[in-house]
């Protein structure tokens, strides 16, 4: 492809892809640094706590949590090990199937999420609202919702 001349549509698609990747990496890094400095959490930690807080019984099967967080089984194990070490989640078991394990949000995890939510949401808002108007943010959200995994307002706010 590099030796071929790209059509305008191909060029726009590649440009959008590169900007999405770079923007995502920079924004995630910035928010993660702030979240860690203020609350000792990574973005993945925060997202795991948020998902668990919204789940029925404040628990999810570990395999479902991995899928929702777009992590491998070993990746979610490492993530949950750290959260368990700090008392933010605990392991739960299934009475009907011993092979199934759950990640369960603890009261300490709920408090940590509550503490982190205000400043994290404020940081996200500031980052976007400094760069985009309200109309542009609405359009951006609509456009990104078309991407695989990009839909659903229920995932957006704590």
pLDDT of 133-144, one tens digit each? 999 999 999 999
Query: How does pLDDT run across 2-36, given as a tens digit for each residue?
Result: 545 666 667 888 999 999 999 999 999 999 999 99
For residue 142, list its beta bridge partners: none
Rounded-to-integer distance, Cα 15 and Cα 41, Å = 32
3-state secondary structure 42-91: CHHHHHHHHHHHHCHHHEEEHHHHHHHHCCCHHHHHHHHHHHHHCCCEEE
Q: What is the pTM of this model?
A: 0.81
């Amino acid at each position: 492809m590099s030796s071929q001349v790209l059509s305008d549509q191909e060029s726009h698609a590649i440009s959008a892809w590169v900007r999405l990747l770079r923007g995502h990496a920079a924004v995630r890094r910035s928010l993660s640094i702030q979240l860690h400095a203020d609350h000792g959490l990574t973005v993945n930690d925060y997202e795991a706590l948020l998902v668990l807080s919204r789940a029925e019984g404040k628990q999810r099967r570990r395999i479902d949590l991995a899928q929702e967080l777009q992590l491998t089984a070993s990746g979610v194990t490492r993530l949950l090990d750290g959260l368990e070490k700090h008392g933010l989640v605990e392991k739960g078991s299934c009475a009907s199937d011993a092979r199934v394990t759950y990640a369960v949000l603890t009261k300490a995890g709920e408090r940590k999420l509550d503490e982190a939510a205000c400043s994290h949401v404020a940081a996200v808002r500031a980052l976007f609202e400094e760069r985009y108007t309200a109309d542009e943010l609405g359009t951006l959200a609509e456009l990104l919702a078309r991407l695989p995994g990009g839909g659903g307002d229920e995932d957006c706010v704590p």
